[in-house]
């Protein structure tokens, strides 16, 4: 049987490509999994969330295979799999979900109760249940009939694979933030962060028919990219209160809905732009959401061993809730249930309803051997969204 070359975590800012064993149809605890399949990976992206692990702010065990944004071809099928066949091209939701527990049956696949013995949440390549990631040549996927999104036409899918590769995480995650924030036709929207998931948020906001899409970031190149794609932009290096900058654009200081796509690596505004504070972005989006509006908190929050304060190391953040309470806010946080959105977003891509997605994301296809350097470049501020192509299947 073939091996499985994989991107492996070997310490802080230390990714290595290693040759591991070919995946078996079995769960992390060794139990056989006739409900699973093995995929030949076609595309596996490097996500901003992977940088949390790379930098050491999200603890993960040494030797873990990285990656949670996968698209692949079915090459081996368990005996209980009924609706997939060898050669099918599929998208893998990053949430590992059984489809059988109470939460999964209610569509809450991001909080599956059975796939992680330590918490009601499981994910590939994320130290959440012991699941190997998919920055590799091959990947085992359990509960395949339930989890996997099959593309209806393989040739059509390969023509649009750079965009369809986003369905495993960042596009549905960005869309989820907007849905939880109540975005709809005519909404005014503020998006904190113009990284890859924030850019997916801008594309999703356009798909939803938002009227004015405002994006805030400290990186001038990212802001220029957003401006080129029809967004209003706010340079958070300017020493002007965020509400004032929004009022300059809209004529009023608040928006209908706002989404935090940054998380714990947020920085301040103006004179505080060089200061990292995990609570900055969440407080900013709460502050600029109008009374009766809603906010989606999509950026990652959790215990961070690299944080400056003891509270923040333990996942306790100074949220300015007292100032927001009078506005009757709706605030939703957490991972996205990818399966709740990925089919419809797939159709939007296949029917060319998101033709601007590739330009917004600046996708770059790389080999498996290039992955360690891509991590370093991404960590140093590269604007590109890296897609690992382990088998050379994506056309240049």
pLDDT in tens, 176-207: 999 999 999 999 999 999 999 999 999 999 99
Tokens of 160: 């649009």
- Name the residue among 291, 264, 271, 211 with its Cα closest to residue 51: 264
Name the class of domain 171-333: alpha beta
Query: For residue 133, how far is the Cα from the chain centroid?
Result: 14
- Considering the chain, tell me which residue range(s) the CATH 3.40.50.720 domain(s) occupy: 171-333
Contact 182, 330 (CB under 8 A): yes
Residue 175 DSSP SS3: helix
DSSP secondary structure code for residue 268 in this structure: -
Residue 265's contacts (CB-CB under 8 Å, 6 or more residues apart) are 52, 57, 276, 278
- pLDDT class of 68 with cuts at 50, 70, 90: very high
pLDDT in tens, 123-141: 999 999 999 999 999 999 9
Q: Is 160 exposed, middle or buried (0-12, 13-18, 19+ CB in 10 A)?
A: middle
pTM score of the predicted model: 0.95
**Region for residue 381 given its phi and psi (left: phi exceeds 0; alpha: psi -120 to 50; beta: otherwise):** left
Give CA angle at 321 (315, 327), nearest 5°: 145
- Considering the chain, tell me which residue range(s) the CATH 3.90.180.10 domain(s) occupy: 4-169+337-388
Residue 270's contacts (CB-CB under 8 Å, 6 or more residues apart) are 236, 237, 238, 239, 240
Separation between Cα atoms, residue 60 and residue 202, nearest integer Å:
31
Mean pLDDT in residue range 351-356: 91
Q: What is the mean pLDDT of the chain?
A: 95
Tokens of 14: 């230390």
Q: What kind and span of H or E run contains 366?
A: strand 363-366
- Name the residue among 294, 292, 287 with its Cα closest to residue 268: 287
Separation between Cα atoms, residue 51 and residue 391, nearest integer Å:
24
Higher pLDDT, 98 or 264: 98
What is the pLDDT at residue 309?
87
What is the pLDDT at residue 199?
96
The DSSP line for 149-170 is EE-S-HHHHHHTHHHHGGGGTH
Q: What kind and span of H or E run contains 200?
A: helix 196-208
Q: 4-169+337-388 adopts what CATH topology?
A: Quinone Oxidoreductase; Chain A, domain 1 (3.90.180)
């Amino acid at each position: 049987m073939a091996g499985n070359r994989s991107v492996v975590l070997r310490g802080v800012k230390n990714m290595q490509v290693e040759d591991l064993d070919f995946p078996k149809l079995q769960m992390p605890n060794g139990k056989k999994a006739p409900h699973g399949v093995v995929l030949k990976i076609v595309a596996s992206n490097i996500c901003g969330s992977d940088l949390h692990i790379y930098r050491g702010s999200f603890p993960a065990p040494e030797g873990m295979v990285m990656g949670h944004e996968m698209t692949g071809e079915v090459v081996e099928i368990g005996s209980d799999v009924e609706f997939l066949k060898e050669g099918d091209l599929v998208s893998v939701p990053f949430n590992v979900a059984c489809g059988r527990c109470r939460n999964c049956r209610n569509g809450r696949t991001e909080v599956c109760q059975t796939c992680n013995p330590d918490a009601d949440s499981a994910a590939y390549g994320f130290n959440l249940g012991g699941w190997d990631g998919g920055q590799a040549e091959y990947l085992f996927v359990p509960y395949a009939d339930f989890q996997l999104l099959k593309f209806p036409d393989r040739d059509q899918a390969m023509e649009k694979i750079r965009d369809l590769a986003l369905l495993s995480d960042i596009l549905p995650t960005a869309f989820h933030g907007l849905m939880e924030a109540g975005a709809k036709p005519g909404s005014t929207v503020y998006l904190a962060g113009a990284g890859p998931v924030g850019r997916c948020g801008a594309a999703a906001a356009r798909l939803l028919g938002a009227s004015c899409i405002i994006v805030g970031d400290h990186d001038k190149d990212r802001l220029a990219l957003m401006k080129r794609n029809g967004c209003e932009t706010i340079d958070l290096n300017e020493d002007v209160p965020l509400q004032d900058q929004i009022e300059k654009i809209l004529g009023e200081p608040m928006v209908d809905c706002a989404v935090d796509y940054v998380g714990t690596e947020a920085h301040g505004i103006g004179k505080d732009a060089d200061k990292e504070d995990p609570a900055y972005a969440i407080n900013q989006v709460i502050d600029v959401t109008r009374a009766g509006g809603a906010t989606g908190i999509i950026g990652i929050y959790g215990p961070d061993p690299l944080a400056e304060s003891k509270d923040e190391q333990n996942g306790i953040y100074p949220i300015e809730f007292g100032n927001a309470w009078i506005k009757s806010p709706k605030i939703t946080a957490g991972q996205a249930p990818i399966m709740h959105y990925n089919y419809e977003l797939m159709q939007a891509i296949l029917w060319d309803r998101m033709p601007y997605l590739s330009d917004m994301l600046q996708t770059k296809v790389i080999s498996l051997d290039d992955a360690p350097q891509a991590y370093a470049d991404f960590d140093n501020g590269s604007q590109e969204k890296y897609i690992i192509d382990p088998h050379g299947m994506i056309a240049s």
